[in-house]
Amino acid sequence: MNESARGFPAFPAGRRGGRGFARSWWGQAWIQAVEETALDNKALLNGRKYAYSGRVGSITVSPGRLFAAVHGQTEIHRTTVTLQPLSEGQWDRFLDQVASRAGHIAALLRRDMPHDLVAAAEDVGVPLLPGIGDLDPSCDCEDWGTCRHAAALAYQAAWLVDEDPFLLLLLRGLGEEEFLTALQRRGAAGESAVVAATRTAVAAGDAYAADPGPLPGDPELPDAPGEMPSIPDSSHVEVPVLRLLARDAAERAFELLCTATVTGLDGAEFDDPAPLLNVADLDERSDGVRLAAHHDDPEAVGRLRAAHDRPGDFDRAVAAWRYGGAPGFEVLDQPWRPNRTELARANTEFVAILADAPDSGETFAVSRNRWTDAAAGRQLRYGRDGRWYPYENRAGTWWPSGPPAHDPATAMP
């Protein structure tokens, strides 16, 4: 597909110290292919010494081929390492796979090789990185297989590949310019990916010093979160729960947008709107109840109920959340003892309630934050938010029976 070649000057002696020839993960994969292909460990050891000592001349990288003249003990040897280029069909499949992924193109232009780019290639039967036996050394010396000269060339090639992963694509048959051009020919998706990836960067200092332009006008607030995209059935994820989570995220975003409009972006509040619940503060159990309280998908709610630590009490918890939100759920689960001032005020209010209903025949038994009229099967629970939550007795179990109120007379079931 491509007959271009790139040349690189010889590395000086002692360019790199230490044992490592590659810093990047793809460079390390190259080294692994070199070392697992060789049959002679002594040749590899001598090859590393040759690479470090600057015995390898300028390197030419072309489709399917590395070439360099390598200085031996007394002679200069013509040395090559070959790698099978991709076929036309393999390139077509790979280019189709990445044409719509601007992130992959941008990473390559940053001289990075994303793991998922290599995985995407493997998914369509395209090997980008060499494997065991893929690198074929050749030299005019008398050694057979991977000689020290070929090993030195392969080790230095790892330095080049480390710096520029496009060289892997060139070895597979397509250079950088041809690769990007081929992507652009794939149509609007591929062209937009290349344009986005090659957009000229702006230095941070220049961006900071530039005068900001006028802000756009506020967009019109939508009337609803909008329709959710369809999510096809899958055996890999719990699709009903995924649909519920997507809907919940859209509704939360809409709620945040509406609250920002009501309160003003500068923090000025109007009509004292209730603070939004920070869902991130909820544990898994509480968030499952919240999701079931706000959504009515029977299958998803059934899965949430099954995952609850007390499935038999799940519906009661959902009812508490629907009436009172997170504070209502807390009142259901966590009895607590109000301070003396709150108890005195509450008792005064209950005396007034009984005085207004002399025929009730019972007084309220008080236990911690709960006032119970057992004969009438009713109960009020005082929340930490200062509101009263009504409950009723259903077959021996206390169920939330209505929204909370700031005084017990209004909340009384």
263, 345: one domain: no
Residue 189 has pLDDT above 60, yes or no: no
**Higher per-residue confidence, 55 vs 123:** 55
Contact between residue 39 and residue 146 where contact means Cβ atoms under 8 Å apart: yes
294, 371: one domain: no
The contacts of residue 311 (CB under 8 Å, 6+ apart) are 305
Q: Does 162 map to a domain?
A: yes
Q: Does 405 map to a domain?
A: yes
283 conformational bin, left if phi > 0, alpha if psi -120 to 50, beta if neither:
beta
Residue 273 has pLDDT above 50, yes or no: no
DSSP state of 229: P
Average of per-residue pLDDT across 226-252 = 81
131, 155: one domain: yes
Q: Does 208 map to a domain?
A: no
Q: Does 373 map to a domain?
A: yes
Q: Does 406 map to a domain?
A: yes
281, 176: one domain: no
User: pLDDT per residue over 324-336, tens digit each?
Assistant: 999 999 999 889 9
Range of the domain at 72: 6-197
Note the pLDDT of residue 358.
54
Note the pLDDT of residue 201.
59
**Higher per-residue confidence, 263 vs 216:** 216
13, 161: one domain: yes
Contact between residue 136 and residue 83 where contact means Cβ atoms under 8 Å apart: yes
Q: Which residue has the tokens 């007959």?
A: 3
259, 354: one domain: no
Residue 17 has pLDDT above 50, yes or no: no
Q: Does 205 map to a domain?
A: no
Note the pLDDT of residue 66.
95
**Segment among 40-49, 206-215, 385-394, 396-405 with least mean pLDDT:** 206-215
122, 184: one domain: yes
**pLDDT-based confidence at 68, cuts 50/70/90?**
very high
Of 146, 169, 197, the one marking the end of a domain is 197
Of 333, 363, 383, the one marking the end of a domain is 333
As a whole number of angstroms, the longest Cα–Cα distance in the chain is: 118
353, 394: one domain: yes
Of 306, 333, 360, the one marking the end of a domain is 333
Domain count, the chain: 3
Backbone angles phi, psi at 306, to 5 degrees: -65, -30
**What's the predicted TM-score (pTM) here?**
0.48
308, 369: one domain: no
Of 158, 159, 150, 160, which Cα lies nearest the Cα of 47? 150
The CA distance from 117 to 171, in Å, is 17
Note the pLDDT of residue 263.
39
Q: Does 202 map to a domain?
A: no
154, 245: one domain: no
- Give, for 393, the enclosing helix (H) or strand (E): strand 388-394
Residue 57 has pLDDT above 70, yes or no: yes
249, 264: one domain: yes
172, 282: one domain: no
User: pLDDT per residue over 96-135, tens digit each?
Assistant: 877 766 677 777 778 888 888 888 888 888 888 998 889 9
Note the pLDDT of residue 193.
52
In whole numbers, what is the pLDDT of the chain averaged over residues? Answer: 82
Q: Does 204 map to a domain?
A: no
Average of per-residue pLDDT across 193-218 = 68
**Higher per-residue confidence, 291 vs 363:** 291
378-382 and 388-394 strand pairing: antiparallel
Note the pLDDT of residue 310.
87
- State percent of the chain over pLDDT 90: 30
